[in-house]
A and B are shown apart, each in its own frame.
Chain A
């Protein structure tokens, strides 16, 4: 976090608004954390009951709870190294230690550009990855705007080059709604089918007209 704060000028230059999200139980604790870490970003709090994260974590952004990510060799080794380096380990203040987190970059069009689900407490995207995602989202939005204005021939979707691909878990109740067959969608194969039908209709009408004349 301190690293991100050090690069805030780059983030601001890229047009990004940075919001820290936590499940601190109250504003005082959130403020205390921000000052301890030395990061002055806006801090949104989304607590649930009894130290758990609120629905913003699990329901909206789909972060999971996991013991494997939290108590892994890498995680505990990281804490051991912090202690060996003379740093005090903070209490969790009664918050759920098994809650995983991560980082999201949302584009100006309200779409997710970089979804990053951390595997453990040491796993975060680099500042460069985040800035790259922010910049690509702005380029994507500008190109989409140009396309709407008719000034660009090939609008390209916003894409973060460093974005990590996540394998989505199988999920019956939240799977995307199946789309209509591609041939019926006007933006893809549907257009070709409609054109073929139109040509066929013209040919049939022409043949009928020819037969009548004879």
Chain B
């Protein structure tokens, strides 16, 4: 395989095939989302249909021995595969934008968004449960150390870095 990839013609065929396969997966996912919309599924349910692309992207990377989709795009630059992939991704973005709009209530029913915090704003007040992981407090068994954090009082006097996570994973 390594030897064969030295041939420019084979390398080109490889990246073109990878682009076509991934673009076809995107097209299929977008079609699936449109079907879900016609069935009356909620915006968030429609979006979840796009999750199928994770497995398909993984399969494409493995099959054509690329380590990342950025590598595929970089190698496809200036070739037909890049255009095919771009067109599929544009359709994906347009579909996502439509779902996002639907999720936010649509143009007529758009919910007001709160102004984001900016530099210089006061830290909001909050009180939350805090856990100190066992790895930091020692290897012993048993529940983690826990307490409460009252902000901004408990954060006063030194700088604080708050790292907000998304979901587990």
Taking Cβ atoms with an 8 Å cutoff, the residues of A that contact B are 1, 4, 11, 14-24, 27-31, 33-35, 38-46, 56-68, 70-73, 76-77, 79-81, 83-85, 89-93, 95-108, 110-115, 117, 121, 130, 133-134, 137-138, 157-160, 163, 166, 168-176
> Hey, which chain A residues are within 8 Å of B121, CB to CB?
111-112, 115
Whether B168 and A90, one on each chain, are in contact in the complex, defined by CB atoms closer than 8 angstroms, is yes
Is B74 an interface residue when CB atoms closer than 8 A count as contact? Answer: no
Closest B residue to A4 by beta carbon equals B163
Known: A20-B163, A46-B128, A171-B115. 5 other contacts (CB 8 A): A77-B69, A80-B54, A84-B57, A91-B169, A99-B167
Chain B 101-145 interface residues, beta-carbon cutoff 8 Å to A: 103, 112-126, 128-136, 143-144
Whether B100 and A76, one on each chain, are in contact in the complex, defined by CB atoms closer than 8 angstroms, is no
B contact patch SS:
mixed
> Hey, which chain B residues are within 8 Å of A84, CB to CB?
57-58, 61-62, 67
> Hey, which chain B residues are within 8 Å of A43, CB to CB?
130-133
Of the candidates B48, B54, B100, B163, the one having the most CB atoms from chain A within 10 angstroms of its own CB is B163
Q: How far is the CA of A96 from the CA of B134 in the complex (A)?
A: 26
Could you give 23 example pairs across A and B, Cβ below 8 Å? A16-B160, A18-B160, A38-B135, A40-B135, A42-B130, A42-B149, A43-B130, A45-B129, A46-B126, A64-B113, A68-B99, A81-B57, A81-B61, A84-B61, A105-B159, A106-B123, A107-B159, A108-B158, A110-B152, A110-B155, A110-B156, A113-B119, A134-B161
Is B9 an interface residue when CB atoms closer than 8 A count as contact? Answer: no
Nearest CB on A from B165, distance (A)? 4
Nearest CB on A from B44, distance (A)? 6
Closest B residue to A72 by beta carbon equals B96
Q: How many positions in chain B have a CB within 8 Å of any CB in the partner chain? A: 72
Q: How far is the CA of A57 from the CA of B116 in the complex (A)?
A: 11
> Hey, which chain A residues are within 8 Å of B99, CB to CB?
67-68
Whether A22 and B165, one on each chain, are in contact in the complex, defined by CB atoms closer than 8 angstroms, is yes
Q: In the complex, which of the residues A15, A111, A166 contacts B123, with contact meaning CB atoms closer than 8 Å? A: A111
Nearest CB on A from B100, distance (A)? 4
Chain B 32-82 interface residues, beta-carbon cutoff 8 Å to A: 43-44, 47-48, 50-51, 53-58, 60-62, 67-70
Q: How far is the CA of A44 from the CA of B133 in the complex (A)?
A: 11
Is B6 an interface residue when CB atoms closer than 8 A count as contact? Answer: no
Whether B122 and A11, one on each chain, are in contact in the complex, defined by CB atoms closer than 8 angstroms, is no
Whether A106 and B160, one on each chain, are in contact in the complex, defined by CB atoms closer than 8 angstroms, is yes
Closest A residue to B71 by beta carbon equals A81
Whether A27 and B129, one on each chain, are in contact in the complex, defined by CB atoms closer than 8 angstroms, is yes
Closest A residue to B92 by beta carbon equals A73
> Hey, which chain A residues are within 8 Å of B125, CB to CB?
60
> Hey, which chain B residues are within 8 Å of A41, CB to CB?
133, 136, 163
Closest A residue to B156 by beta carbon equals A110
Is B93 an interface residue when CB atoms closer than 8 A count as contact? Answer: yes
Closest A residue to B88 by beta carbon equals A73
Whether A104 and B164, one on each chain, are in contact in the complex, defined by CB atoms closer than 8 angstroms, is yes
Whether B163 and A103, one on each chain, are in contact in the complex, defined by CB atoms closer than 8 angstroms, is yes
Known: A42-B149, A61-B124, A175-B115. A104 touches B133 (CB 8 A): no
Whether B118 and A31, one on each chain, are in contact in the complex, defined by CB atoms closer than 8 angstroms, is no
Is B3 an interface residue when CB atoms closer than 8 A count as contact? Answer: no
> Hey, which chain B residues are within 8 Å of A115, CB to CB?
116-119, 121
Nearest CB on B from A103, distance (A)? 5
